[in-house]
């Protein structure tokens, strides 16, 4: 079987791409080069607390009945006065010891048989065989000693870890059925409310779809990604520089939209509605037609709110797989960005960017000051991991989540921190892709020469390209992808790889890992224009406990490299540590198809080792 050719040269000028890989399944013995390795406790039966909870709470009766009658001697009523106070009567009722019983006729009235009949109904209710009132006879009561059931006590139960709180009260037995009916009515009402809420949400979605400018298209058309370029009223020159470099114009932009990519400058309104700033944007929109206006008042401290408004508006207008935010002083390579996102199409909730964790600034008056710094622990702590704000992408499900919950999502001072905080408690996969944060030349330039085109380039110290209006054209010339890369790709509405091929490669990688538990599949490719020899075998099953340095030695032996020549091996545009285990590199940097891709280069393409160290800082 033929080798997969051109794996590591994705999107390189004059290079090759992964699409050249054949789709046939592998045979390990024929394709993969195997790198030789270096030298009851039985549980006790007991009733849980839940058992007792269920026992006590499952009863439909609100009365607590004693299990056995109590012996109460007949009192000498002639010499016993009536209870002087209601408190004394309460004591007589609640006592569990033998007591003197007062004359029923004086307490309950003359109709004592009615009282006894009520008790009898309570005692017989729920019995398996039932009982009859005739079974209680006057002869059963002795002259001196009277057996009787004490008056049932009303218990108000509150559930809280089976702690029963008794409250004094009374409730007629006839009200029990009414309570049961009330509870059933409440449950039925809750179900009806839930159903109505679902119907309301569906109706809103349908209304929003019908209210679009072109409902017949927008309600059905699927896009690949929506790119929102964050801009301000004062950034007219920045917008023009973007239009002159990486953002297609005119018919090319329409053609790009047909391929599934929408690009818009994103801006809200000024504090003075209809003022000169808004009119200037309207005039610019008439000339270019590339704006997305938000129901939002512009302001530097309102970027978090603007981010929510962008995702909410974008997902209402376009049904896309990914929603991207980028600043107007960042250079993009659209085809490379598309390939980077295409590898995550199978993930429903994915958050892609260059992940970082900067310090929480507690000092007032300093840039990036965080007024709510105390929420992040002690002074000097760092933020949780989140994507840098220059460029990030989220999947459709996450954009939908923001749109639905926009009114309850908390906003921090920094927009990128706010976005990261919204996903902290969700089942979201964070993807750290360093292709989305390359430096300006020479960083992005030598990476392009290695065949690793950057998706985005900017200067960290400026949080964008320093003096972007003057320099973005230079960045575009030295780091831009081939002009035909974007137009030669398939429509971005489908993956860069057909779904069946992609899934087949994933299955193949899984089969290899299952069969060889202690080895990892690695694909090695020479960088474009490198002066070192090409490798004879590109696919290897590498022992998991092999170090990167040991594998580099294997590569040197395979290409018969002389001792005086240097070789550099890259993983995702970075040089891994030579002491790192290949298994660790695999887990951190494996591709979406399940393989680890590595590129090697000679010193002529890469430059001196000292230069490399400087560039990697």
CATH number, domain at 29? 3.10.20.90
Give me the residue label for tokens 């081939």: 482
Q: Which residues contact 381 (CB under 8 A, 6 or more apart)?
A: 359, 360
DSSP for residue 313: H
391 and 332 inside one domain: yes
Q: How many domains does the chain have?
A: 3
Mean pLDDT of 504-527: 84
Mean pLDDT of 113-119: 45
Mean pLDDT of 491-512: 64
Q: Is the pLDDT of residue 41 over 90?
A: no
**Verdict on whether the full-model pTM lies above 0.85:** no
Last-in-domain residue among 481, 512, 541: 481
Tell me if 174 is assigned to some domain: no
451 and 572 inside one domain: no
Tell me if 352 is assigned to some domain: yes
Tell me if 153 is assigned to some domain: yes
67 and 93 inside one domain: yes
Tell me if 225 is assigned to some domain: yes
Helix (H, G, I), strand (E, B) or coil at 616: helix
33's enclosing H/E stretch is strand 33-34
Mean pLDDT of 236-249: 96
141 and 275 inside one domain: no
What is the span of the domain harbouring residue 105? 63-158
Q: Is the pLDDT of residue 185 over 50?
A: yes
Residue 439: CATH number of its domain: 3.90.550.10
529 and 439 inside one domain: no
Tell me if 350 is assigned to some domain: yes
Q: Is the pLDDT of residue 610 over 50?
A: no
439 and 467 inside one domain: yes
Q: What angle do CA 189, 193, 195 make, to 5 degrees?
A: 115
577 and 605 inside one domain: yes
466 and 543 inside one domain: no
Tell me if 169 is assigned to some domain: no
Distance CA 266, CA 278 (A): 13
467 and 605 inside one domain: no
Give, rounded to a whole angstrom, the gap between the first and last alpha carbons of the chain.
Answer: 42
Strands (E), 70-182: 70-73, 145-148, 153-154
439 and 532 inside one domain: no
477 and 591 inside one domain: no
Check residue 349 and give its pLDDT. Answer: 95
Helix (H, G, I), strand (E, B) or coil at 488: helix
Last-in-domain residue among 158, 190, 205: 158
Q: Is the pLDDT of residue 84 over 70?
A: no
Distance CA 505, CA 521 (A): 12
303 and 333 inside one domain: yes
Which of residues 588 and 146 earns the better pLDDT score?
588
Mean pLDDT of 582-602: 86
Tell me if 199 is assigned to some domain: no
Last-in-domain residue among 454, 481, 508: 481
Distance CA 335, CA 7 (A): 16
Instruction: Give the pair of three-digit tokens for residue 213.
Output: 């400018």
Tell me if 244 is assigned to some domain: yes
């Amino acid at each position: 079987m033929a080798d997969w050719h051109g794996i590591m040269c994705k999107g390189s000028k004059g290079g090759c791409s992964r699409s050249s890989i054949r789709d046939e399944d592998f045979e390990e013995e024929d394709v993969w080069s195997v790198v030789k390795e270096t030298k009851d406790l039985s549980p006790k039966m007991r009733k849980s607390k839940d058992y007792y909870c269920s026992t006590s709470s499952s009863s439909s009766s609100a009365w607590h009945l004693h299990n056995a009658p109590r012996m109460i001697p007949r009192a000498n009523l002639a010499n016993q006065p009536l209870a002087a106070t209601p408190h004394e009567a309460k004591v007589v009722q609640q006592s569990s010891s033998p007591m003197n019983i007062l004359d029923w006729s004086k307490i309950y009235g003359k109709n004592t048989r009615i009282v006894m009949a009520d008790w009898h109904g309570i005692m017989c209710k729920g019995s398996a065989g039932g009982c009859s009132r005739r079974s209680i006879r006057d002869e059963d009561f002795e002259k001196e000693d009277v057996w009787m059931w004490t008056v049932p006590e009303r218990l108000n139960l509150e559930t809280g870890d089976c702690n029963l709180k008794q409250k004094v009260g009374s409730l007629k037995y006839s009200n029990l059925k009414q309570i049961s009916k009330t509870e059933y009515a409440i449950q039925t009402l809750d179900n009806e409310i839930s159903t109505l809420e679902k119907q309301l949400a569906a109706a809103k979605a349908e209304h929003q779809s019908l209210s679009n400018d072109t409902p017949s298209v927008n309600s059905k058309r699927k896009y690949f990604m929506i790119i929102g370029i964050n801009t301000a009223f004062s950034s007219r020159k920045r917008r023009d520089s973007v239009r002159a470099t990486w953002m297609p114009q005119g018919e090319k932009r329409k053609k790009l939209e047909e391929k599934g990519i929408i690009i818009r400058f994103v801006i809200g309104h000024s504090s003075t509605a209809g003022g000169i700033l808004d009119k200037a944007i309207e005039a610019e929109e008439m000339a270019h037609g590339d704006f997305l206006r938000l129901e939002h008042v512009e302001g530097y401290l309102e970027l978090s709110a603007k981010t929510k408004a962008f995702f909410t508006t974008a997902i209402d207008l376009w049904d896309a797989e990914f929603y991207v935010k980028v600043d107007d002083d960042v250079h993009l390579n659209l085809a490379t960005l598309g390939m980077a996102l295409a590898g995550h199409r199978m993930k429903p909730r994915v958050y892609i960017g260059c992940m970082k964790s900067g310090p929480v600034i507690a000092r007032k008056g300093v840039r990036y000051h965080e007024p709510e710094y105390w929420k992040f622990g002690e002074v000097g702590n760092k933020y949780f991991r989140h994507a840098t704000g220059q460029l990030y992408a989220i999947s459709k499900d996450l954009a939908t989540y923001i749109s639905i919950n926009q009114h309850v999502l908390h906003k921090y001072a920094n927009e990128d921190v706010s976005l990261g905080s919204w996903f902290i408690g969700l089942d979201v996969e964070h993807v750290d892709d360093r292709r989305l944060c390359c430096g300006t030349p020479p960083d992005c330039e030598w990476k392009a020469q290695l065949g690793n085109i950057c998706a985005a380039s900017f200067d960290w110290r400026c949080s964008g390209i320093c003096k972007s209006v003057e320099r973005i054209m230079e960045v575009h010339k030295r780091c831009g992808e081939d002009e035909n890369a974007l137009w030669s790709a398939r429509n971005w509405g489908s993956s860069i790889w057909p779904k069946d091929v992609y899934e087949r490669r994933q299955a193949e990688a899984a089969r290899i890992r299952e069969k060889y538990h202690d080895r990892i599949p690695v694909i090695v490719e020479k960088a474009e224009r490198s002066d070192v020899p090409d490798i004879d075998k590109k696919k290897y099953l590498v022992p998991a406990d092999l170090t990167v340095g040991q594998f580099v030695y294997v590569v040197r032996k395979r290409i018969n490299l002389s001792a005086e020549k240097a070789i550099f091996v890259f993983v995702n545009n970075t040089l891994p540590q030579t002491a790192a285990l290949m298994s660790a590199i695999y887990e951190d940097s494996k591709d979406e198809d399940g393989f680890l891709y590595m590129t090697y280069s000679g010193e002529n393409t890469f430059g001196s080792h000292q230069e490399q160290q400087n560039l990697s800082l």
